[in-house]
Amino acid sequence: MTDINQLRGQSLYQIFHIGAQSRRAEISAALVQALGLNVLTGPFAGMTLPNEASWGDGDLPPKLLGCYEAELHPAIAKAISRDPQVVVNIGCAEGYYAVGMARALPQARVLAFDADAKAQAICARAAAANQVVDRVKVEGACGAETLLRLTSEPARMLLIVDCEGAELPLLDPVQVPQLGRCDMIIECHDFVNPSITGAMQARFGGSHDVENIVEGPRDPNQFTWLRRMQSLDRWLAVNENRPTTMNWLVCWARR
């Protein structure tokens, strides 16, 4: 329940946001109690999620339901079909993509990077819970030197990047020329820097087939278990709490 002291001196929007966070936590707990911690649908169906978060609530409800970043599901399927030997996940958080791709690609190595020590620990525990700990290596922040070293390997490589605006200085083909042969799925944080998407499209348009995928709607009614909930609760369950409409660049290397 929300502490009344939290509400003193807050704007109406802030009061609503605090109340929504509290209700979302209750919905999350109810989902876990009813359904467990295995992802229900989507490309990572069957994966066991950690019941802990490195930021916010870790978007546990939409991840559990399988609709988290649903816009990327076709790209994830295509990335898997291209059979990368190495997956580099920069900004791994709790390991949703790092562990999910390790399960989907049993022959691949996964390198998971996050600057936050709590995220690293949770990701490692998620890898262990899903029996892929031998193929998921968790490390700290990934800089240009690390990326240069990794991409120098001849292996087919997929990069999944979500690093809160740092994608612009990091994914620089001048500093890291071998990015030109890597497939990439990049979350663009244009609310941090509005030039990111345009700059990245210009950088990789010559070496990759680039798709700009824009955040779309959600239909909570596709999930039978949610239909018994009130409308607001259904929307809270699938909400990803985006600061603005997000987009991803999916870059397929022309091999």
Tens of pLDDT, residues 216-229? 999 999 999 999 99
Mean pLDDT to the nearest integer, 229-255: 95
Confirm whether 1 is domain-assigned.
Answer: no
Domain assignment present for residue 13? The answer is no
What residue numbers bound the domain in which 236 lies? 36-253
> pLDDT at position 255, please?
75
HSE-up of residue 69 (Cα within 13 Å, Cβ side): 21
Q: Decide if 103 is inside a domain.
A: yes
- Give pTM, 2 decimals: 0.93
Report whether 120 contacts 95 (CB < 8 A): no
Contact at 8 Å (CB) between 249 and 215?
no
The answer to whether residue 15 is domain-embedded is: no
Over residues 211-240, the mean pLDDT reads 96
Which of 207, 206, 231, 228 has its CA nearest to residue 218? 231
Tell me what percent of the residues of the chain surpass a pLDDT of 90: 91
CA nearest to 150, candidates 88, 76, 101, 98: 88
* 17 band by pLDDT with thresholds 50, 70 and 90: confident
In a domain, 163, yes or no: yes
Which pLDDT value is given to residue 166? 96
| CA geometry: angle 25, 214, 102, nearest 5 deg | 65
Is 2 part of any domain? Answer: no
Inside any domain, residue 11: no
Q: How many domains would you assign to the chain?
A: 1
pLDDT above 60 for 4: no
Q: Residue with structure tokens 């799925």? A: 185
Q: What is the pLDDT of residue 2?
A: 53
Q: What is the pLDDT of residues 147-170, one digit of tens each?
A: 999 999 999 999 999 999 999 999
Is residue 113 very low, low, confident or very high in pLDDT (cuts 50, 70, 90)? very high
Q: Which long-range contacts (CB under 8 A, 24 or more apart) does 116-124 make?
A: 116/54, 116/55, 118/54, 119/54, 119/55, 119/92, 119/93, 119/94, 120/92, 122/50, 122/52, 122/53, 122/54, 122/93, 122/94, 122/95, 123/92, 123/93, 123/94, 123/95, 123/98, 123/99, 124/95
Tell me the pLDDT band of 12, cut-offs 50, 70 and 90. confident
CATH number for position 165: 3.40.50.150
Q: Which residues contact 182 (CB under 8 A, 6 or more apart)?
A: 151, 157, 158, 159, 253
